[in-house]
Structure 1
Amino acid sequence: MPQIGFGVFQVPDDETTATVAAALESGYRSVDTAAVYGNEAGTGRALAASGVPREELFVTSKLWNTDQGYDATLAGFDTSLDRLGLDYLDLFLIHWPAPALDRYVDTWRALERLYTDGRVRAIGVSNFLPEQLQRLLDTAAVVPAVNQIELHPALQQRGAVEFNRAHGIVTEAWSPLAQGAVLAEPAVVRIAEAHGRTPAQVVLRWHLQQGRIVIPKSVTPTRIRENLDILGFSLSATDLAAVDALECDGRTGPHPAEFNG
């Protein structure tokens, strides 16, 4: 899985094709969508028209809460695959644990079947807390490959990251730039100026140097290219510590213990 992917959260379906096409032209090969985003079809159109061989692409989608449960999950996967116009997915995630529904254990069994049947190359979860992951691990035949969580300098979720690491689960950061909220932080601006980079590039580089996967989203071609151009410099230990110090429990999305969709 590429360490830098392209996210399409909140991109309308009729704009998604052009946006994903711009990302693929810029060099992205990993695209992250979800059933609830309503833009799997637009994403699929861009993939089909890109001319990029399927084996070079890494496509992720996510199962929405209303499709949780064993049989409903299998049907939801089929629907996502059909909208994307693909024969298989590279990664399929449970979008939220939705604890009040209490279906994510059965949902995981369905993902394991899809994985065993070869219809998806890897399976994982999104927005799972350590205690929810542990409940899955207690009965799972397959350990989740990925836990995609909100993670940025203002919300670093160190306990979740450590739990993931201890169990061989890769941490993937959604909203890696906190929807732009951390880009004006003086420490980020200072580091960006010192490296001749943008604040967004500094924050994305901070993620990469700590081993995380990131899926920044933009609809602006210039920023799409800039977000990918983060391999030509590195942050010092002092730089990393300055960004680490921005933690303030600054969650921008719902809390996984409370959100049920």
Structure 2
Amino acid sequence: MANSAYKQPLPAPLVPLADGVAIPQLGYGLYKVEEAEELVGHALRAGYRHLDGAALYGNEAGVGRAIGAAIADESEHSPAREDLFVTSKVWNSEQGYESTLRAFERTRADLGLEYLDLYLIHWPCPERGLFVETYRALERLLQDGLVRAIGVSNFQPDHLRTLLDHADVLPAVNQVELHPWLQQRELRAVHEELGIATEAWSPLARGRLLDDPELARLAADHGVSVAQLVLRWHLQEGTIIFPKASTPERMAENADVFGLELDDGALEAIRGLDRGFRSGSHPDQVN
């Protein structure tokens, strides 16, 4: 590979979850990452230590090869397993207690890991009525030491309340679509009340907000790109993010947000852009 040297880990803040587990606030997202082995290798060499994946993405074997190569490298700044935070998710068609346990074993084998750091229910799929027993399987994996933390993705407040009526373990995170055009204030207030960390998928609205004139103006005022401005906004809002990048250059740009500080005026201007826009599906419509 062109650059085999490992950089120091990104100075991403660590967000506490549960039972002493902490997650880097900035990671690398694996949705639609086709050349996963190569790109995850680039991300790890660039200092990323948080990888957000899922069985649905169809690239866990490549991700696993990249992780294995990085751990085996043993050069300066190359990561040990305990330096990495690896997330996966059980897909909708695998919901149910036994099928979730089987799905987890396939993911674990593809990744080549003894344990995962975080395992999530990908969507609530309320019409299936299986997310409670699916979550019981996640609790079993946690009890058996096969995952360090468990949580959910795309759960709305009513889904969370139903789950909490039956769960023994509070979900460590809820991963939802969140960006300046969809700020999820009601849901984030529920998270804060319960002690659930908020993760944002599609933190840039799948690139749609890069042409927003107000964001472009604010980015120019700060001498950064729109992507950097928005990612910094997420960090200052306390959201855990993992933007996707298809090139080493974009990975480096996304990571170059720790020397930037947005003032109250910029934060409020971005908060004023909420329009309830979803770049993906509404959770109540996915089954």
Q: TM-score range by the shorter chain?
A: over 0.9
| Structure 2: distance between partners of 1:109 and 1:101 | 15
Structure 2 unaligned regions, length at least 5: 1-22, 72-78
Secondary structure, aligned partner of 1:93:
strand
Secondary structure, aligned partner of 2:284:
coil
Matched, 1:119 2:119: no
| Structure 1: distance between partners of 2:214 and 2:268 | 10
Matched, 1:33 2:33: no
Structure 1 unaligned regions, length at least 5: none
| Structure 2: distance between partners of 1:195 and 1:258 | 39
Q: TM-score, normalised by structure 2?
A: 0.89
Query: Which residue is equivalent to 1:61?
Result: 88
Query: Which residue is equivalent to 2:242?
Result: 215
Q: How does 1:99-178 map to 2 (within 5 A)?
A: 99-178=126-205
| Structure 2: distance between partners of 1:65 and 1:186 | 37
Aligned pairs, number: 258
Runs of 4+ in 1 over 6 A off after TM superposition: none
1:253, CA displacement in angstroms? 0.7
1:232-260 CA-partner distances (Å, limit 9, x unpaired)? 01101110111111111110111111111
| Structure 2: distance between partners of 1:36 and 1:233 | 34
Residue 195 (structure 1) aligned to one of 194, 197, 222: 222
1:186, CA displacement in angstroms? 1.6
| Structure 1: distance between partners of 2:103 and 2:169 | 20
Q: TM-score, normalised by structure 1?
A: 0.97
Aligned partner of 2:31: which letter?
F
Secondary structure, aligned partner of 2:275:
coil
Secondary structure, aligned partner of 1:219:
coil
Secondary structure, aligned partner of 2:266:
helix
RMSD after superposition: 0.7
Matched, 1:242 2:264: no
Q: How does 1:173-188 map to 2 (within 5 A)?
A: 173-188=200-215
Aligned partner of 1:16: which letter?
A
Residue 69 (structure 2) aligned to one of 38, 49, 56: 49
| Structure 1: distance between partners of 2:256 and 2:85 | 19
